[in-house]
Amino acid sequence: MKEKGKEKTPYTSWKGVGYALTELWRFDRRLFLLCLLRIPVLVLLPFSTVYLSKLVVQLVTEGAQVPRMLASVGLLVLGMVLLNVFSNYAALVSKGRAELFETKFYYKVFDKVMDTDYENVESFEGQTKRERAFPQNYSGVGVGLSNIPESLVVIASCVFGFVFYGVILAALNPFITLLLIAITAVNYFALTHVRKYEAAYLERRSVYERRLNYIQYHGLDAQNGKDIRLYRMLPWFRQLFKEALAARDREVWLFVARQILANVLNHSLVFIRDGLAYAYLIYLVLSGQMQVDDFILYFGLISGFSTWIVSLIDNFNWLARSGLIASNIHEYLEMPDYLNRGPGADLPQGRDLPCALEFKDVCFRYPGAEQPVFEHLQLTVKPGEKLAIVGVNGAGKTTLVKLLCGLYRPTHGDVLVNGKKTEEYNRDEYYTLFSTAFQDVHLLPMSIAKNVAMCPEEQIDRERVWDCLRKAGLAERVRGWKDGLDTNLVKGVQDDAVDLSGGEQQKLIFARALYRDAPVLVLDEPTAALDPIAENQLYLQYSELAQDKTSIFISHRLSSTRFCDRIVFIENGKITEMGTHDELMAQGGGYAKMFEIQSYYYKKKGQRAPLAEEGA
């Protein structure tokens, strides 16, 4: 890949909050209005409750008449009821709209995963950021994107209530207000420390979660079930899972321990704070310096002041944690893509087809890898040529295909199509140049027709689907099902679905490549699950269909490469031999030795090749 030259942006909790609010303003401005209206209501409701107790005691001690008592108390209670109804209604509506806002981010992250440059999907950095970006990976009371509006409303009401109550208490004795503020500051700094530790904890935990997910995915995968049982792999999987779970749990318990200590400190300070304040009030009453109704008012104000402080600290902490989630999402969504998404060069068509391909001085190293896959690779594929790429596992064959298809960019050098660098083309338009069939088969839980055509139902040419299935050798199998092309695949997802064998899956993928009918055909070990006879039949069909296309073919069975115009033999990321089958056999190099070794297994008894010499 070419140097990215990027500077890391510091993604913090508070920048995450700002990002979430900016997006929320774009998404739902009515929610902002509801949040603003709720703030004074949340301050007035608890004060009204405190003042009601004072009013009742005051009216009783003054000997007020019943009509006056009913009128005064009734009006206050009516106001409280109206405020409470509005508060509950606004809270319910706000919660629903905030959850819709959070759901929007599920879709945005999902779209990013599906659309980002492929190198971001495979890289360790990209996988780590993706793991942190999904909101459902976080749990906890008051935590999440949907909680940010609520936390901000509560924090704002706590600040106003804090000031309002503080002014009243300061009029009684400034010492009480200062005491409450000082202890609040200690609580804040303690929780700030816990919050910083949590950010590092989430970073470490994402690594363990990815390990656990990998083990669970492969352990529960039905396709792995045979090997797990026949090779008694359960103890091995169990040990891997146990070790990963233990490592994850150690982090969890360390985090929980810190939270417990922070909570113990918080409640201890609250006990000291409220105890001293209440003791002072009792002293004033006993010394005759305060009336009973005022005692009730100030007692309620101190209790409410404490509630404001505790709620302020809690919601500040929850807001910071939610902001961290928003920050992680923001970081992933802003993970840069480097392939051309804007206007690009015109795609080859008409007389420009079939395409000419060229690897010009290409070097490539996977992110984080110590050794390069390719160094100064030179390869030219003529228009309409059928080229086979062969070599041992790990030689770089599939990487070459990824570079050609634009899934990765060279670290140095260029890949060219008809003389134009791949980055000159629009990325998505460039992808349409290729019909591909890779060795790892992934079928979608939908109909056969959609799996072949890979487009909406109304755009499918069903006759063409049948023709591609016939050419791939799968049509008769599909005709045997009562729903034909409408038969659903992947039985584990849909009850009425069917499952294809490994060979049938690869035939369907080949049919998919045929249906696309792109100028360049790329087959990367597409027949690994087929027997030699079925493979030979498929490649005879492939040879016929590739007459007007430039085609790249990768296979581990060298006998199936003989129909190609040219064969490239790769060793350790370098092209060591090139020519037709007969030319390479005459050279007696690595290709010839590999071919002889493979052909040994197809020879009859008495025709055994001298393996010692072949492996020399």
Identify the residue with better confidence: 406 or 291: 406
Q: How far is CA 304 from the centre of its chain?
A: 43
Residue 394 has pLDDT above 70, yes or no: yes
Closest by CA position to 45, among listed 82, 100, 71, 20: 82
Closest by CA position to 369, among listed 415, 411, 402: 411
Provide mean pLDDT across the span 453-459. Answer: 89
Q: What are 537-546's contacts with CB under 8 Å, separation 24+?
A: 537/473, 538/472, 538/473, 538/507, 538/510, 539/563, 541/471, 541/472, 541/473, 542/510, 543/386, 545/471, 545/514, 545/521, 546/386, 546/521
Give 510's strand partners: none
Please tell me what DSSP assigns to residue 224: G
pLDDT for 614 equals 36
Residues 6+ apart with CB under 8 A from 479: none
Global confidence as pTM: 0.71
Q: By three-state DSSP, how is residue 363 classified?
A: strand
Domain range annotation of the chain: 11-137+144-332, 348-441+515-602, 443-498
What CATH class has 11-137+144-332?
A: mainly alpha
pLDDT of 528-553, one tens digit each?
Answer: 656 666 666 766 777 777 778 898 98
pLDDT for 223 equals 66
Residue 331 has pLDDT above 60, yes or no: yes
Q: How far apart are CA 47 and CA 165, in angstroms?
A: 9
pLDDT for 605 equals 43
Q: How far apart are CA 112 and CA 257, in angstroms?
A: 36
Listing DSSP states for 373-405 in one string gives SEEEEEEEE-TT-EEEEEESTTSSHHHHHHHHT
Mean pLDDT, the chain, as a whole number?
82
SS (H, E, C) 294-362: HHHHHHHHHHHHHHHHHHHHHHHHHHHHHHHHHHHHHHHHCCCCCCCCCCCCCCCCHHHCCCCEEEEEE
pLDDT of 246-270, one tens digit each?
Answer: 887 887 787 777 777 777 777 777 7
Architecture of domain 348-441+515-602: 3-Layer(aba) Sandwich (3.40)
Identify the residue with better confidence: 441 or 83: 83
Residue 470 has pLDDT above 50, yes or no: yes
Identify the residue with better confidence: 44 or 206: 44
